[in-house]
Structure 1
């Protein structure tokens, strides 16, 4: 005997199935567009394009590096200290979404050929435990949407005089948006004041 689907159930299925398909498509799209955060370790050398020099979520990479997708986020000295300084020498344009320098190490980022294109911000985080400097150098180019030195919400210990700095000696640096330099201080009455002085230094650079 042939069984017929209840009209009410059929109506529900007509609504539910398209909704499920839409949900699957949206989930896949979000997954495809999600940014990947890469942390520099320099474990395999100095080359930016060597996957083994980067970790994602604590996992050493074997295939990818920042710039494989334009939504990639690169962090240098944020999570790991390192010995080998990063060098980009691909001769092409390597595009990422943002680049953050932490306080684990002083960093020298060399772009010897080609361009490191950062569509969003380059940020140097404040160090409230000493001095920190990141230097851009090389015959290549760096472009970015904005540049920030220091964090407005990071304060020094009382009586400290710390310095957070970006120095650029690279052949070409092109910043399309704002340059923000955040210096902060913190004081205690009858004790004294501490300072984090943030500096952006251009030395012979073509803007």
Structure 2
């Protein structure tokens, strides 16, 4: 498998974690977002949205991190990341979507560039970022139980989405004192080799 990736893309980071947890071999190919390589004809042919990640499975190219993780879980079911029980499955995906639908899209590179083009200064853009992270994290903190992970006793799909967002929160100096459960879950996840190997610092271009 080939993963078209960018080391700081939180969506791609999620997929790296999933691949690592499942012990799957894959080749990374960098798509340098700051150089606009995602808008190249070659990449647009791969992903018409001009985004990462894109995973070439050998059967075709998949896009959107949630869809990719769901495919991986269907094709390589151990360890399972999305529960099979209908209620537990819906609850796990709902937690993942707090990040995937309600935090990340509002703070990604193309939104930040658009805000800058509209005249929003750096302080204003940082305030925007902190606001949406705080709103989403407050909800996730309330959703987190007493288990070591959002997924329970083992990491699940919501943990794959949380950890990259925690990385982004720290990059933008977002206060995290109000989210002790999320901080603890993030620490439990990042102590695992599969998460550590997916960290942006571990895959950044040398």
State the TM-score bracket (shorter-chain normalisation).
Answer: under 0.3
* Structure showing greater relative contact order (alpha-carbon pairs closer than 8 Å, 6 or more residues apart): 2
By percentage of residues, which structure has more helix? 2
Q: TM-score, normalised by structure 2?
A: 0.23
Larger of the two Rg values belongs to structure: 1
Q: TM-score, normalised by structure 1?
A: 0.23
